Structure 1
């Protein structure tokens, strides 16, 4: 398997979070960057962090919401860095478990590439 190295959007996302928290406003190219990042990210933690950033950046400044979302992203990023496969398994199981029961039977897990239950459920 070809090693791709770190997702380039990860460093950009971290910098955008720092910028947002420092300036209390989204960068001028926020929408354009979001479109590119969501179309081209490789690591699911980037997708997760981008969504959290966008959720607070499109609303009026709220320091509690912003810092809470950033801390949630950072906590998850540390867990992701420690074991990306385990983080993704846990993340996708949580998504599946949040679905209505009728939809869970049709769940196709993105990590296990079609195996419906990752952890034996």
Structure 2
């Protein structure tokens, strides 16, 4: 249990790198999708992919801002999921499923890191 935060860090890094790669492929038209793509949502995913990679580093090092960045990412994803689910009719179901996955993963990360001590760096 001593290194549980490293598992959370690897999970955050994996989510981040997947978001950056998948989103960049769509933005640069390397990959095409069989459903309507909302460019603003792809840009959001790429930006939060980079934020997730930074968060992974902060989690790994137990930085003092760890809990704040986790709360920021999780809150942003939850709010966007609510928007996509209830307020936007043009979004593809694949986008909603991906956001549910992100919210679930970041909830696990938040639970793992809830009680560990952070250090000022």
1 or 2, which has the higher helix percentage?
A: 2
| TM-score, normalised by the number of residues in structure 2 | 0.36
| Higher relative contact order structure (alpha carbons within 8 Å, sequence separation ≥ 6) | 2
Structure whose alpha-carbon radius of gyration is higher: 1
